[in-house]
Chains A and B, each alone.
Chain A
Amino acid sequence: DAKTTQPPSMDCAEGRAANLPCNHSTISGNEYVYWYRQIHSQGPQYIIHGLKNNETNEMASLIITEDRKSSTLILPHATLRDTAVYYCIVREDQSLGGKLIFGQGTELSVKP
């Protein structure tokens, strides 16, 4: 079963920051938070992941609350090409054989 809760859909204006929330209140100490996105008719694309510290890469920033029960994916300047379904996933550490289990995700629509 998916261990995360996400809003089913969100809109964002082009050029503005897109902030996608995720609730993972039952996360355990050895579970990481991963974000993927799936653009229509393509395979999912890895975006970013984190354990407890905030993370940033060329695609996005990940903000994890201090209690680790929720996180926010931030796309700083959304473009039309960022329209996709975004999946927040918690996964056990690799050494424990954690599997990537997808929930329903958030369908982000970036509008001009």
Chain B
Amino acid sequence: SAVISQKPSRDICQRGTSLTIQCQVDSQVTMMFWYRQQPGQSLTLIATANQGSEATYESGFVIDKFPISRPNLTFSTLTVSNMSPEDSSIYLCSVRTGAHYEQYFGPGTRLTVT
């Protein structure tokens, strides 16, 4: 398994500002993912972030709005840029590891945009 921590755990931000969310893993992993969970909804995949390459974004998500960094095998950041109230969500970091490529999730960052 993998132990994943995220910072901050929650934040309240004003519209038009940006927030960078950090994800730290206790072991080296190749594949990391960022998900969004809007209130009362299921998880939506934002992007896949592999070390040493550009992040791959899912339909409906763009790099200008959600830039991602992946400087090494244990760390990644997701920035939510020029925020609006519609960006209020829980943002979750996830990694794929293990003998059967199980995927593990961090505790999430609860973002409220006012």
Contacts and interface: CB of A to CB of B under 8 A. Distances in A.
Contacts of B48: 99
Nearest to A89: B103
Contact of A46 (B35, B44, B92, B102): B102
Contacts, number: 38
Interface size bucket, B side?
20 to 34
Contacts of A104: 42
Given A43-B106, A46-B103, A101 B92 contact: no
Interface residues of A, number: 16
B33 interface: yes
Contacts of B104: 46
Nearest to B96: A94
Would you call the interface of chain A mostly helix, strand, loop, or mixed? loop
Provide the main secondary structure of the chain B interface.
Answer: strand
B105 interface: yes
A44 B43 contact: yes
A57 to B, nearest CB: 11
Interface in A1-57: 34, 42-46, 49
Interface string A61-91: 0000000000000000000000000010000
Nearest to A43: B105
Nearest to A2: B42
Nearest to B108: A43
A70 B20 CA distance: 40
Nearest to A101: B45
A53 B86 CA distance: 43
5 contacts: A34-B103, A43-B107, A43-B108, A44-B43, A87-B42
3 closest Cβ pairs, A-B complex: A43-B105, A94-B101, A102-B43
